[in-house]
Amino acid sequence: MSSSLCVRRLSLAPSDVSAHTSMATRSLLAYSCNASFSTSSAQLAQNLQKKSKAALPPQRGTKNSVTLKRKTPARDVGKRPAPGERKALRKRIVLSNINAFEVPGLRDLHTTNMHADSVKGRVMGLPGTVVDSLRAVEAFKTTQGWNLFRRPAILMRRESAQIAEFIQEVEAAQGKKTIRRIIIGDRASGKSTLVLQALTMAFLKEWVVINLPDAKEIIIGHTEYAPMPGSNRTQYTQNVYTANLLSQIAKANTAVLSKLQLTTKPDLPITVPPNATLVKLAELGAATPEYSWPIFRALWDELTQPNRPPIIFAIDGLGHIMRDSAYLSTNFKPIHAHDLTIVRHFIDHLSGAAALPNGGIVLAATTGSNNPSSPALDFSIQVAEARAKGMNSLPTWNPYKSADQRSLDSLKNVEMLRLNGLSKEEARTIMEYYAASGMLRRTVDNNFVSDQWTLSGGGNIGELERGTVKLRI
Amino acid sequence: MPPRLNILSIPRAIAFRPRAPVSVWRNERVIRISPSLSLCRNFADSKDPPAVDKSQNRDAQPLPHVSEEAAETAEIMGLEGPDIEQGTPVEEIVKGDKEAQDKLPKVIKDSIKSSAPKGSRSFSTSAFRPQDLELVEMEAPPPPPVMLGIKFGLPALPIPSDAHLKYRYDPVVKQVTNLLMRHGKLSIAQRNMSLILTHLRTSPPPTINPARPLIPGAPPPSHLPLNPILYLTLAIDSVAPLLRIRSQKGAAGGGVALQIPVPLGLRQRRRTAVEWILTAATKRKNRGSGKGGFAQRVAEELVAVVEGKSSVWERRNAIHKLGVAARANLNLRRR
> What is the percent of chain A with per-residue pLDDT over 90, rounded to a whole number?
79
A187 in the same domain as A147: yes
Closest CA to A257 of A203, A221, A218: A203
A215 in the same domain as A362: yes
What's A243's DSSP letter? H
pLDDT of residue B313: 97
What's A68's DSSP letter? -
Q: How many structural domains does chain A have?
A: 2
**Cβ neighbours for A395, distance < 8 A, ≥ 6 positions apart:** A379, A382, A383, A386
- Please give, rounded to a whole number of angstroms, the shortest distance from the CA of B226 to a CA of chain A: 6
A360: left (phi over 0), alpha (psi -120 to 50) or beta: left
Q: Does any domain span residue A16?
A: no
A264 in the same domain as A408: yes
pLDDT of residue B115: 59
pLDDT of residue A147: 95
A336 in the same domain as A429: no
A411 in the same domain as A309: yes
Q: Does any domain span residue A305?
A: yes
Q: Higher-confidence residue: A280 or B1?
A: A280
In this structure, is the dihedral angle defined by the CA atoms of residues A267, A273, A279 and A282, taken in order, positive or negative?
negative
Range of the structural domain that residue A125 is part of: 95-419
What's B57's DSSP letter? -
Q: Does B33 have pLDDT greater than 50?
A: no
Kindly identify which residue of chain A lies nearest to residue B221, measuring between CA atoms. Answer: A99
| Per-residue pLDDT reduced to its tens digit, A212-268 | 999 999 999 999 999 999 999 999 999 999 999 999 999 999 999 999 999 999 999
Cβ-contact B294, B189 below 8 angstroms:
no
Three-state SS at A210: strand
H or E segment at A7?
Answer: helix A2-10
| Per-residue pLDDT reduced to its tens digit, A384-394 | 999 999 999 99
H or E segment at A171?
Answer: helix A158-172
Mean pLDDT, all residues of chain A: 89
pLDDT of residue A285: 96
User: Chain B contact for A438, CB < 8 A?
Assistant: yes
pLDDT of residue A274: 85
CATH of domain B171-329: 1.10.455.10
Report angle CA A455, B189, B284 to the nearest 5 degrees. 140
d(CA B303, CA B69): 43
**Cβ neighbours for A463, distance < 8 A, ≥ 6 positions apart:** A188, A455, A456, A457
Cβ-contact A144, A160 below 8 angstroms:
no
Per DSSP (E only), the strands in chain B are: 243-248, 258-263
pLDDT of residue B137: 59
At B244, give phi and psi (nearest 5°): -125, 165
d(CA B243, CA B160): 31
Mean pLDDT, all residues of chain B: 80
pLDDT of residue B96: 78
What's A152's DSSP letter? -
**Cβ neighbours for B234, distance < 8 A, ≥ 6 positions apart:** B30, B214, B215, B218, B224, B306
Whole-Å CA distances, B110 to B102, B103, B105, B113? 11, 13, 9, 5
At A247, give phi and psi (nearest 5°): -65, -35
Question: From the CB of residue A145, how many other CB atoms can be counted at a distance below 10 Å?
Answer: 16
Q: Does A205 have pLDDT greater than 60?
A: yes
Q: Higher-confidence residue: B260 or B147?
A: B260
Q: Does any domain span residue A191?
A: yes
CB contact under 8 A, B289 and A86: yes
Q: Does B41 have pLDDT greater than 50?
A: no
Q: Higher-confidence residue: A60 or B130?
A: A60
Q: How confident is the model at residue B105 (pLDDT cuts 50, 70, 90)?
A: confident
Lowest-confidence region among A36-40, A57-61, B139-143: A36-40
Q: Does any domain span residue A265?
A: yes
pLDDT of residue A72: 77
**A90 → closest Cβ in B177, B204, B289:** B289
Q: Does any domain span residue A452?
A: yes
Q: Residue A425 corresponds to which amino acid?
A: E
Q: How confident is the model at residue B12 (pLDDT cuts 50, 70, 90)?
A: low
d(CA A382, CA A374): 13
A400 in the same domain as A385: yes
Q: How confident is the model at residue A276 (pLDDT cuts 50, 70, 90)?
A: very high
> What is the percent of chain B with per-residue pLDDT over 70, rounded to a whole number?
73
CB contact under 8 A, A87 and B173: no
Q: Does B40 have pLDDT greater than 50?
A: no
**Cβ neighbours for A240, distance < 8 A, ≥ 6 positions apart:** A223, A224, A289, A292
**Cβ neighbours for A24, distance < 8 A, ≥ 6 positions apart:** A17, A18, A33
| Per-residue pLDDT reduced to its tens digit, B49-88 | 554 556 667 676 767 777 788 888 888 888 887 777 777 7
Write out the residues of chain B at the interface with chain A, using a CB-CB cutoff of 8 A.
Answer: 168-169, 173, 177, 190-191, 193-194, 197-198, 201-205, 225-229, 285, 287-290
From the number of C-beta atoms within 10 Å of its C-beta (0-12, 13-18, 19+), residue A342 rates as buried
A408 in the same domain as A445: no
**Cβ neighbours for A266, distance < 8 A, ≥ 6 positions apart:** A272, A281, A298, A301, A302
How many CB pairs below 8 Å do chains A and B form together?
Answer: 51
CB contact under 8 A, A99 and B202: yes
d(CA A320, CA A337): 8
The residue of A99, A101, A142, A146 whose CB has the most chain B CBs within 10 angstroms, and thus the best one to mutate to test that interface, is A99
Closest CA to B218 of B266, B210, B275, B196: B210
A437 in the same domain as A388: no
| Per-residue pLDDT reduced to its tens digit, B252-278 | 677 888 899 999 999 999 999 999 999
Mean pLDDT of A49-61: 61
CB contact under 8 A, B204 and A99: yes
Q: Higher-confidence residue: B42 or A323?
A: A323
Q: Higher-confidence residue: B199 or A274?
A: B199
A454 in the same domain as A373: no
Cβ-contact B208, B307 below 8 angstroms:
yes
Mean pLDDT of A392-410: 94
Span(s) in chain B for CATH 1.10.455.10: 171-329
Kindly identify which residue of chain B lies nearest to residue A467, measuring between CA atoms. Answer: B194
Report angle CA B73, B78, B80 to the nearest 5 degrees. 75
Q: Does B175 have pLDDT greater than 90?
A: yes
Mean pLDDT of B132-153: 69
Chain A residues closer than 8 Å to B227 by CB: 441
Q: Does B97 have pLDDT greater than 90?
A: no
b/e map B21-53, b = 16+ CB within 10 Å: eeeebebebbbeeeeebbeeebeeeeeebeeee
| Per-residue pLDDT reduced to its tens digit, A90-130 | 999 999 999 999 999 999 999 999 999 999 999 999 999 99
A359 in the same domain as A436: no
pLDDT of residue A46: 61
| Per-residue pLDDT reduced to its tens digit, B290-309 | 889 999 999 999 999 999 99
Pairing of strands A236-237, A226-227: antiparallel
Pairing of strands A360-365, A334-336: unpaired
| Per-residue pLDDT reduced to its tens digit, B201-217 | 999 999 999 999 999 99
Chain A residues closer than 8 Å to B194 by CB: 470-473
Q: How confident is the model at residue A472 (pLDDT cuts 50, 70, 90)?
A: confident
A150 in the same domain as A221: yes
| Long-range CB contact pairs, A323-331, < 8 A, 24+ | A323/A219, A323/A372, A323/A373, A323/A374, A323/A376, A323/A404, A323/A407, A325/A218, A325/A219, A325/A220, A325/A221, A326/A219, A326/A220, A326/A221, A327/A219, A327/A221, A327/A225, A327/A236, A329/A234, A330/A227
Cβ-contact B329, B259 below 8 angstroms:
yes
Lowest-confidence region among A26-35, A157-166, A442-451, B268-277: A26-35
pLDDT of residue A21: 47
Chain B residues closer than 8 Å to A89 by CB: 287-289
CB contact under 8 A, A471 and B197: yes
Whole-Å CA distances, A338 to A179, A241, A405? 21, 16, 11
User: Chain B contact for A79, CB < 8 A?
Assistant: no
What's A346's DSSP letter? H
At A156, give phi and psi (nearest 5°): -85, 85
Q: Does any domain span residue A62?
A: no
d(CA B65, CA B67): 5
pLDDT of residue B26: 40
Chain B residues closer than 8 Å to A455 by CB: none
| Per-residue pLDDT reduced to its tens digit, A453-466 | 999 999 999 999 99
Q: Higher-confidence residue: A52 or B180?
A: B180
Three-state SS at A52: helix
As a dihedral over the C-alpha atoms of residue A379, residue A383, residue A384, residue A390, rounded to 10 degrees, the angle is 160
Q: Does any domain span residue A82?
A: no
Chain B residues closer than 8 Å to A473 by CB: 168-169, 173, 177, 190, 193-194
Q: Does any domain span residue A89?
A: no
Closest CA to B36 of B217, B214, B210: B217
A128 in the same domain as A113: yes
Q: Largest alpha-carbon pair distance within chain B?
A: 94
Per DSSP (E only), the strands in B143-235 are: none
